[in-house]
Copies of this chain bind each other. A is one copy, B any other.
Amino acid sequence: MECKAVKGTRDFLPLQMQKRNYIFNTILNVYRQHGFLQIETPAMENLQTLMGKYGDEGDKLLFKILDSGMFLREEKIEEFANHIKASEVNKATKMIAEKGLRYDLTVPFARFVVNHQNDITFPFKRYQIQPVWRADRPQKGRYREFYQCDADIIGSDSLMNEVELLQIISEVFSKLKLNVAIKLNNRKILSAIAECLGKKDQITDITVAIDKLDKIGMENVLKELQDKGFSVEDCEKIKPILLINGTNKEKIESLAKIISCIEVGKKGLEELEYVLNKANNLGIENIDFDITLARGLNYYTGAIVEVKALDVEMGSITGGGRYDNLTGIFGLPNMSGVGISFGADRIYDCLEEKNLFPEDIATTTQVLFINFGEQEGDYCLKLAKQLRDNNISCEVYPDCAKLKKQMKYANDRNIPFVVLVGESEFQTKTPQIKNMTTGEQINIEEKDFAAYFLQ
């Protein structure tokens, strides 16, 4: 029987895990330094928690879990069959599946906050690093299972939270040595633009279109807007806004002339300026006010942010924003929050392409003890224990195999030191240490053994 991993999902080999852990640990250490607390939620949620939160397309992409046991009673077959015949997949699904796998970490987090509101200290700074699942058609760089690394601050509308999240983004990529541009905008500015055009209701059409400026260019954006029913005059009004350029300060000034007569526009620009100034004071200089940044998710109400790697062909590697009513759908209104999410898989690809993983990432075990036989092996077990008590990772080769085979194991595993205790070393209690990088060999007295590796 040949069995493979499910299409669109991945096994992670040890070296890949080392690299992934390097990214996860970098992110979570920064989260922790900023006082964020970890939570976890279950892989599966009731479908009523998930359905309707990600649009129709999202509902389709939810993995649904078949109810346990006899999932459809005999007397229900006809009803079920009728749904299938009518292509009413949602209704048929509802009859046999009440649970689904989480699609992101945001909706489960909102449910979590509502369920545990009495056990949480607000403002609540939480981080969560867990996989999510989407029943997407697998293709290059798009997986059905992938990790999200989210941090949110909920229960405070202070803009200092936005500043802190920008600081976190900056620190993470600085630690990862990846050059990035941080794009910042504010949903209130986008609202003001829509209001300027007298098309308050069509803010989604506007944001969806201008979000594509980078990819499809000005002409196509304007064409898309016209397809959505915007007039040529509307487009003439939008065009100069999209053409605004210069420094952040210059862009804010240019835009202010157009939208600060509108209250929400003035507010949006003030928020933006405040956040940019504070971030600047903290030495974060790679933030770019991007009027065309829209982000697809409709729940954002204030700052929105996206990060792109410089000199790498890759979409957004981190994103986030302010939402004023995420928990409202679950019955807890007026709980403002702001959050970010690092895309670990894309960051992985960027680091790989730029060769930015630490050189010693493939090294795990520091020392291999060659096994020359029973009494030497027993002696090595004791030396190994000494090393481990000093937190040095080591292995005793389990079989008394040929030396060549054991040395090949050390090589394949990138183990930097090999210890050889043959009969004479055993008699004199002077293990021989071979440095696999330099080839250097040295005999060490037992009492100095662990110290040698602690230098």
Q: Within 8 Å CB of A87, what residues of B?
A: 70
The 10 closest A-B pairs by CB, nearest first: A9-B42, A14-B37, A35-B395, A35-B365, A158-B398, A68-B135, A3-B49, A121-B412, A64-B66, A160-B398
A41 CB-CB contact with B under 8 Å:
yes
In the assembled complex, which residues on chain B have CB atoms less than 8 Å from the CB atom of A404? Answer: none
B161 lies within 8 A of A398 (CB): yes
Asked if A364 is at the interface (CB within 8 A of a chain B CB), the reply is yes
The reply to whether B69 and A74 form a contact with Cβ atoms under 8 Å apart is no
A156 contacts B48, C-beta separation under 8 Å: no
Q: Given the complex, which residues of B lie within 8 Å of A365, measured CB to CB?
A: 35
Contact A66-B11, Cβ < 8 Å, known A4-B115, A330-B1:
no
Q: Which residue of B77, B385, B398 contacts A156 across the interface (Cβ within 8 Å)? A: B398
- A441 interface residue (CB < 8 Å to B): no
Q: Which residue of B lies closest to A48 (CB)?
A: B3
A65 within 8 Å of B by Cβ? yes
Least CB distance, A111 to chain B, in whole angstroms? 5
Residue in chain B with minimal CB distance to A382 = B282
Copies of this chain held together in the complex: 2
Binds B, one of A209-217, A386-394, A442-450: A386-394
Q: How many residues on the A side are at the interface (Cβ–Cβ under 8 A)? A: 106
Give 14 new A-B contacts, CB below 8 A, not counting A1-B329, A11-B40, A123-B398. Answer: A3-B115, A4-B115, A5-B42, A6-B45, A11-B116, A13-B119, A14-B39, A21-B38, A63-B65, A66-B93, A70-B87, A77-B81, A156-B398, A156-B399
Shortest CB–CB separation between residue A74 and chain B, in angstroms? Answer: 6
**A44 in the interface (beta carbon within 8 A):** yes
A56 within 8 Å of B by Cβ? no
Query: Which residue on B lies nearest to A68, using beta carbons?
Result: B135
Instruction: Supply 22 A–B pairs (Cβ within 8 Å), ascending by A.
Output: A1-B329, A3-B46, A6-B45, A10-B42, A11-B115, A14-B39, A14-B126, A17-B37, A32-B364, A33-B388, A33-B393, A34-B393, A35-B365, A43-B43, A63-B66, A65-B65, A71-B93, A74-B85, A153-B398, A160-B399, A163-B381, A164-B396
User: Which chain A residues (80-134) contact chain B, with CB distance < 8 Å?
Assistant: 81, 84-85, 87, 89, 92-93, 96-97, 99, 101, 111-112, 114-116, 119-121, 123, 125-126, 131, 133
The answer to whether the Cβ of A273 comes within 8 Å of any Cβ in the partner chain is no
Judged by a CB distance under 8 angstroms, whether A281 is at the interface is yes
Residues from chain B with a CB closer than 8 A to the CB of A158 are 398-399
**Alpha-carbon separation in the docked complex, A68 to B34 (Å):** 40
User: Is the CB of A315 closer than 8 A to any CB of chain B?
Assistant: no
B-side contacts of A71, CB under 8 Å: 89, 92-93
Task: Pick the residue among B6, B43, B45, B65 that contacts A131 (CB under 8 A).
Answer: B43
Taking a contact as CB atoms under 8 Å apart, the answer to whether A69 and B60 are in contact is: yes
Report whether A84 and B72 are in contact in the complex, using a CB–CB cutoff of 8 Å: yes
Q: Which of A48, A153, A156, A399 has the most CB of B within 10 A?
A: A399
- Residues on the B chain within 8 Å of A267, using CB: none
Using CB atoms, name the residue of chain B closest to A72. Answer: B84
Chain B contacts for A35, CB-based, 8 A: 364-365, 368, 393-395, 413
Q: Is A409 an interface residue (CB 8 A)?
A: yes
Q: A384 CA to B330 CA in the complex, in Å? A: 35
Instruction: Give, as a whole number of angstroms, the nearest-CB distance from A59 to chain B.
Output: 12
A145 at the interface (CB under 8 A from B): yes
Min CB–CB distance A112 → chain B (angstroms): 5
